Structure 1
């Protein structure tokens, strides 16, 4: 079961302040990325968002990620359908009025869960290849947080491939997301340009929007993890790599442990599918097993290490 306790109403008098601070942080993130982010509803923008998703994932003809009709319906139903456009447009609260302009270079869509949860599930987010490295994805997520807080939403969740280093760092380190559940082969075989024929294991992230660590992350104070320092301080390795780049599991000893992922799983899927499948299985057993046993992911080192802690063990 996913813990939804964070999706409860804000304390009296705090909601407006938290939402206002989130708008300021989102405006700063968009400014730093040289883009503007806003909800979209016009058909040309919805069509452009679908083309962007197709260009990133390159799904098979029978497996479209999203359609214009679906995004149109989601927007009409009050779900989150937004895009990032190249170039600045001024303060974020002014940009939310739906003005047009700029090339669409990123998009994000999400829908609401059951009423008791009061939470948003962020389903797809992507940024064009030419804009990578400019933190457009971060600006999109900061906007999504501000948008959700304006509507009284306390939590956003989403999934990502736990073997992709840049995504793990972005979600765990840069956004301070909480890894809540390991989901084996969540979507089944997708056979697209990113997942190939591999199982689609996913890590479910919960983003508690008013949490101090999330607010700090959206202000640019990202969570840093140093695997070497953790090892020097007594952490052990649950999953590492052999000299030839294959996964190797170890016995877990102590309250803190590290789980490795390969340098480039997407490249490995193309060049050595057997090795990629071995890593998938090993990470599923190590990371998935630890999370199922109550361990918490507390950080991710960009060098390719998840850091986990056992909250039941005194520090």
Structure 2
């Protein structure tokens, strides 16, 4: 299989073939993205073989472009065929938070359903999770298989540029209720800070609600402050469990020797709030009520930057757990300090959640733990 083409396919094919490719490309498909798809489908000889016979080359390019833009087979295991026949357009909510979030972020969010979309999604995931790795974070073949299983996979676009992606799998809970297990979400650095992540998650939520799904679950790095703020404070997901060493053994060249701990969260889409952003503020307020003493810090940075644990934190009705603002940078620049923080934060979170405490995110930059009613 040839290496993916990074420049537009029209730049890698000489002569009139570039005009042929431009003629058959759909107007809304970036040439660079479709070039990667065509390169993947070409034989080992690569695109230079297309110049041998102009007539055959024109036909080959046309066929490849058509194949690249063809819809990937994607059944929908959570759809009810009978309902689809009688009510093909589910009633929308009074306000469409997904559309509003996409408009605020300045993106268009579409399902991944063509081979071009697959290439675009793989490119975004590689740029965020495996830059310079020399291999795909998510191979195109794996993503196509997920789509064939009916996976709800979404892409965020700014014009013709893919800037964000979120993957998921449909499934069922142990008692048979439909469930969406959300997977990796990635937003290119150039598109961050404008709400693309929120728009992607709300689009995922809309997909789930249309199919009668009542819960979306996912895990995230317990040390990632930005993710915790998004998931718990902005989206209103609920922490269900602490999963120590969830990713298994780290690679030998990992800057942090410990496996990353993760939090399992559930986004409940029924009842009050219906998983709407901001509902976490109601269950775990960042500011104490009038007359309440502000919670103390169960874990806080000492003068040397290392975590300090208050041994009496569990005796209070609420406690805060500080988390480094940028754990990725700390893991890269000071692995020993990163490991110390993971031990401290993970130890307190694990003890609290096992004892029935609720965990939210506080605006002061840490988890807010609330004791169960005594």
Q: Structure 2 length as normaliser, TM-score?
A: 0.68
- Larger CA Rg, structure 1 vs 2: 2
Q: Find the partner of 1:36 among 92, 104, 108.
A: 108
String of CA shifts for 1:34-54, please: whole Å, max 9, x gaps: 001111111111111112111
Q: How many Å separate the matches in 2 of 1:114 and 1:75?
A: 17
Q: 1:136 to 1:191 in 2, by over 3 A?
A: farther
Tell me the equivalent position of 1:105: 163
Q: CA, structure 1 residues 130+198, in 2 after alignment: closer, same or farther (shift >3 Å)?
A: farther
Q: Quick one: distance in 1 between partners of 2:132 and 2:260?
A: 15
Aligned to 1:305: 366
Aligned partners of 1:35 and 1:85 also within 8 Å: yes
**Equivalent residue for 1:289?**
351
Distance in 2 separating the partners of 1:66 and 1:76: 15
Q: Distance between the aligned counterparts of 1:121 and 1:47, measured in 2?
A: 22
Partner of 2:342: 280
- 2:304 paired residue number: 244
Aligned residues: 281
Match of 2:119 in 1: 47
Could you tell which deviates more after superposition, 233-242 or 29-38? Answer: 233-242
Which secondary structure does the structure 2 equivalent of 1:143 belong to? helix
Matches within 5 A, 1:197-236: 197-217=257-277, 223=281, 225-226=285-286, 233-236=293-296
1:131-280 to structure 2, matched below 5 A, reads: 131-191=191-251, 197-217=257-277, 223=281, 225-226=285-286, 233-250=293-310, 251-252=312-313, 253-280=315-342
Are the equivalent residues in 2 in contact too, given 1:163–1:261 (CA < 8 A)? yes
Q: CA deviation at 1:70?
A: 1.5
**Against the structure 1 CA distance between its residues 215 and 292, is the aligned structure 2 distance closer, same or farther, given a 3 Å change threshold?**
closer
Q: 1:84 deviation in Å?
A: 0.6
Comparing 155-164 with 58-67, greater Cα deviation is found at 58-67
Displacement after TM superposition at 1:311 (Å): 2.2
Distance change (3 Å), C-alpha of 1:306 and 1:231: farther
User: Mind listing any 5+ residue stretches in structure 2 that lack a counterpart?
Assistant: 1-87
**SS in structure 1 opposite 2:263?**
strand
Q: Is the 8 A contact 1:59 1:193 kept in 2?
A: no
More deviation, 115-124/194-203: 194-203
Q: Bigger CA drift: 189-198 or 20-29?
A: 189-198
**Following TM superposition, by how much is the alpha carbon of 1:109 offset from its aligned partner in structure 2, in angstroms?**
0.7
Tell me how far apart the structure 1 counterparts of residues 344 and 116 of structure 2 sit (CA, whole Å).
Answer: 44
Highest RCO, 1 vs 2 (Cα 8 Å, sep ≥ 6): 1
- Give me the CA root mean square deviation: 2.9
Q: Report the equivalent of 2:172.
A: 114
Normalized against structure 1, the TM-score is what?
0.80
Q: List gaps (5 residues or longer) in structure 1.
A: 1-15, 88-101
Per-residue CA distance 1:275-313 (angstroms, 9 max, x = gap): 00000111110012101111011x312432111112232
Cα gap change, 1:17/1:234 in structure 2, threshold over 3 Å: closer, same or farther?
farther
Cα distance between partner residues in 2 of 1:255 and 1:48:
48
Q: SS of 2:364's equivalent?
A: coil
> Aligned partners of 2:91 and 2:303: how far apart in 1?
49
Alpha-carbon shift at residue 247 of structure 1 (Å): 0.7
Q: 1:278 to 1:85 in 2, by over 3 A?
A: same
Q: Residue 213 of structure 2 aligns to a residue in which SS?
A: coil
